[in-house]
Amino acid sequence: MNHGLGEFEQLVLLALVRLGAEAYGVAIRDEIEREAGRDVTVGAVYTTLLRLENKGLVASRLGDPTPQRGGRRKKYYRPLAAGKRELAASVNALRRMTRGLTPGLELP
């Protein structure tokens, strides 16, 4: 099922793919800020992760409690196969749309 991803949903999914098994809220925010050059709040990341999880595109798991976190658990996220398919479809659509544009605007 094609859910159609928004721009920020694409960035969050890309960050999940880049980070692998260590993807959690703050790390995802940091990855987007570093790689996309965009200021992002952790709240926006968690809101988007919940939406992606509700769409069946992302799954989460709780890590072990740690003393550094006051005994609290960190929540880790990963893209599901459906999420990877949606992301690939979005990236491919952008590639098709930029094909033949002025040099510098085309995607590789």
Give the model's pLDDT for residue 62: 92
Give the model's pLDDT for residue 87: 95
Domain 7-98, CATH among 1.10.10.10, 3.40.1160.10, 3.50.50.60, 1.10.150.530: 1.10.10.10
Burial category of 105 from C-beta neighbours within 10 Å (exposed 0-12, middle 13-18, buried 19 and up): exposed
Rounded Cα distance, 86 and 51, in Å: 14
pLDDT tens-place values along the chain, 108 residues long: 566 899 999 999 999 999 998 899 999 999 999 999 999 999 999 999 999 999 999 999 998 887 777 778 889 999 999 999 999 999 898 888 877 777 766 666
Q: What is the model's pTM?
A: 0.85
Rounded Cα distance, 105 and 42, in Å: 30
Rounded Cα distance, 93 and 97, in Å: 6
Give the model's pLDDT for residue 12: 98
Are the C-beta atoms of 55 and 64 separated by less than 8 Å? no
